[in-house]
Amino acid sequence: MPELPEVETVIGILKPLIIGKEIQKVEVYYDRLIQSNLDTFKTTVINKKITSITRYGKYIYIHLSDDFVIITHLRMEGKFRYLDKGNQRIKHTSAMFFFKDGTYLSFDDTRKFAIMYLTNEAELPTLPMISKLGVEANKVEEKDLPELFKKFNKNKPIKELLLDQSILCGIGNIYADEICYATKLNPYTKGKDISKEKIIEITKQAKIILNKAIELGGSTIHSFHPSEGVDGKFQEVLMCYGREGELCPRCSTKFHKDFIGGRGTTYCPNCQINHELEKAIGITGPIGSGKSTALNYLKEKGYRTYSADEIVHELYRKPHIQRKVSSIIKAPFDIDNKELTLKARKILIAFPERNKELQNYIHPLVENEFLNILKSEDNPVFEVPLLFKAHYEYMFKKILVISISKEQQLKNLASRNENIETSKKLNYNFEYPKDNPKIKVVEATGNFETFYKNIEKALD
C-alpha cells in the first residue's frame, strides 16, 4: 500500500499535469470507487477547475473551483494515469476524467480497494475518515508530544501503534519497520513500556525516514508504482523492510520476519531485543572447556537444562532434515552412524562453504526450539557451543563463557577420546564479543569445586 512518501510523490507528478484543467465530464466504470452519492459526484464536478492538489497522511485532496474537494485514498494499488490524447481506458480503469482541452486523467485500480469521495472545503475537516486522523508523522512538533504520549500508552505492540492512523498519520508497513529498526525498538514492545524519551526518538526518526523517502520519490514495492513508468528509489536504501534472511548491517544477525496484527514485520532480534524473551542463561565456550560439566552442575542445582547439541541430534534424526543435510554435505548422513558422522565432520572441515550452508540451515531450527522452550519456561539454561556464531544472544539475560587454558583443553579432549585435530579445526579458536554486558567469564581452572564456585559467582 502506498504510504505518505508515495502519496506525496503522486501529488508531485500530478500537479504540473492537471492543475488548471477544467473537467468536461467524468465516467465511472466501477461504482464502488465513489463513496459519496455517485450521481451527485458525476454532475457536480462538471465545469469545475482543478485549483490545487494537497495531501493529509495517505489521503489526496483534489481541490476544485467553488470550494469542492475530491478525496482519494489509493489503498493497495490505485494509481492515476495522465493521457494527452485518446481515451485509453484499460482493463483496470475505475474512472476517467475528461478535460476540456482534450486530455484525460485515468484512475486505475487492479484490486478495486481505492476510494473517492466528493465534499466541500468546509465539511472536509469534519468528515469521519479525516477527523479521526492523528498528526502527520513527518510534521510532529513539540506541542504534539503530550497527546502522543497518551496515545502510545497502550497495551499494544509498537508495530500496531505505528500503523494506527489516529496516532501518527501516514505510516504504513514499510516505514513502520524502518522506524523500529532505526530506534532499535523490537516491534513487539508494548506502547506502555516505551519511555517518553523513546517516543521522541520515534518521532525524530519518522521525520528523517519519511522526508528522505519523499526526496527519493518513495518506495516502489511489488505492484505499486506512483505513476506509469515512474519508480521511486527509497527501496534501494531500505535498512530492514523486505530483507528477511539477509544480514543486519549493524550486527550481522539474520533479519527475522513475523506477523504482528496480520502484517509482515521484519526486524533484527539482536539489535531490536524483545526483553520478554531475555529469560535464559547461556553456557558457551570452546570445545573441551567444560560446558557440559557446567550444564550438569546447574541441572543438579534444580535448573531446567537443555543442550543445543542434543537438540541438533534430535533434529538430525528427522527424515526430511537428514535428507537436507545429506544434500548440503553431498554425502550420505546418519547421526546414529559413527562412521558416516565422522566422514561428515571431515567434509565440513575440508569444505568450509558446506559447513556455512549447514549452519545457515540448522541454526534457525535450533533457534525455534529454544523459542518454544522460552514460551513456557522463565529460567532455563541452554548449553550452546556456537551461541555467538548463531547470533542467539537476544534470548539470554546472562551468558556464561567458559574460559580454559589451551593445555587443559587438550587434556580434556584427550580424556574424551576425541580426535583432537578434528575437534581443534571445528571449534578451537573460540571468540566472543568482550563488550557484551550479558557475558560473565567463568574460569575452568583448578578442581571441580573451584569451577563450581566460579559458576555460582558468575550467576550471583
pLDDT in tens, 106-144: 999 999 999 999 999 999 999 999 999 999 999 999 999
Alpha helices in 167-307 (DSSP H): 173-182, 196-215, 291-300
Residue whose grid cell is 547439541: 309
* 166-197: pLDDT as tens digits: 999 999 999 999 999 999 999 999 999 999 99
pLDDT average, residue stretch 395-407 = 92
Residue 284: which residues within 8 A CB-CB, separation 6 or more?
Answer: 291, 383, 384, 385, 386, 387, 388, 399, 400, 401, 402, 432
Q: For residue 362, which amino acid is it? A: I
Ranges in the chain annotated CATH 3.40.50.300? 278-459
Question: Which of 66-70, 281-285, 424-428, 455-459 is predicted least confidently?
Answer: 424-428
pLDDT in the model for residue 420: 60
pLDDT for 391 equals 94
Query: pLDDT at position 309, please?
Result: 94
Catalytic residue list contains 58: yes
| CATH architecture of the region 278-459 | 3-Layer(aba) Sandwich (3.40)
Please name which of 234, 220, 227, 221 lies closest in space to residue 78, comparing C-alpha atoms: 227
The pLDDT, as a whole number, for residue 224 is 38
**Residue from 204, 263, 389, 440 carrying the catalytic annotation:** 263
* 98 sits in which H/E element: strand 93-99
Name the grid cell of 325.
543435510
Percent of the chain with pLDDT over 70: 93
Nearest to 281 by CA among 300, 313, 304, 301: 304
Is pLDDT larger for residue 43 or for residue 432? 43
Q: What is the model's pLDDT at position 220?
A: 59
Across the chain, mean pLDDT equals 91
Taking the C-alpha atoms of residue 303 and residue 252, their distance in angstroms, rounded to an integer, is 31
- Per the residue annotation, which of 6, 8, 48, 58 is the catalytic one? 58
Question: Given this structure, which CATH class describes domain 4-131?
Answer: alpha beta
Q: How many CA within 13 A on the CB side of residue 97? A: 24
Model pLDDT, residue 384: 96
263 noted as active-site residue: yes
Predicted confidence (pLDDT) at residue 228 exceeds the cutoff of 80? no
Span(s) in the chain for CATH 3.20.190.10: 4-131
Per-residue pLDDT at 226: 45
pLDDT at position 88 over 90: no
Residue 53: in which H helix or E strand, if any? Answer: strand 50-56
Class of domain 135-239: mainly alpha
CA distance 270 to 186: 9
The cell for 124 is 472536509
Q: What confidence tier does 232 reach under pLDDT thresholds 50, 70, 90?
A: low
How high is the pLDDT of residue 288?
Answer: 85
- pLDDT for the residue numbered 222: 45
Active-site residue flag, 75? no
Residue 85 vs residue 435, higher pLDDT: 435
Q: Write down the pLDDT at residue 411.
A: 80
